[in-house]
């Protein structure tokens, strides 16, 4: 599967809130670094991350653009509440090897009425 097609599938599963299916898109030793959070290493930890995130807030990813450059796909997204961000996906052998995302965590927490860390 090409990088762009895999990211389209990722978006569909993300919007379903299906942590198990989305985790299957990752390599066993994949890395997910949402730069506002700690780095998450390994498919099982990525699964737990998605379970926790989907339980904490209803999230919707609306694709604005998906660009592809070889093994890389870049997702530019927004959500219905006005949050915007982008994600970079390195795809190897049809699975996500590395993902990095940029978005405003403080705005996300406020929009979803979640606690704001004080440290």
Query: Does 53 score more than 80 pLDDT?
Result: yes
Domain assignment of residue 118, yes or no: no
pLDDT at 84: 86
pLDDT tens digits for 63-118? 999 999 999 999 999 989 888 899 999 999 999 999 999 867 666 667 767 787 78
Average pLDDT over residues 37-50: 96
Domain assignment of residue 55, yes or no: yes
pLDDT tens digits for 14-41? 999 999 999 999 999 999 999 888 999 9
The CATH number of the domain holding residue 33 is 3.10.450.50
Task: Decide: 40 and 110 in contact? Cβ < 8 Å.
Answer: no
Cα maximum dimension of the chain: 42
Number of domains in the chain: 1
Domain assignment of residue 116, yes or no: no
């Amino acid at each position: 599967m090409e990088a762009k097609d895999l990211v389209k599938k990722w978006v569909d599963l993300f919007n379903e809130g299906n942590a198990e299916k989305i985790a299957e898109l990752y390599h066993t030793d994949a890395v997910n670094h949402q730069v506002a959070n700690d780095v998450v290493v390994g498919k099982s930890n990525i699964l737990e991350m998605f379970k926790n995130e989907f339980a904490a807030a209803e999230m919707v990813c609306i694709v604005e653009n998906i660009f592809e450059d070889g093994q890389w796909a870049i997702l530019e997204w927004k959500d219905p509440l006005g949050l915007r961000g982008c994600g970079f996906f390195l795809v190897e052998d049809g699975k996500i090897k590395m993902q990095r995302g940029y978005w405003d965590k403080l705005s996300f927490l406020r929009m979803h009425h979640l606690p704001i860390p004080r440290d």
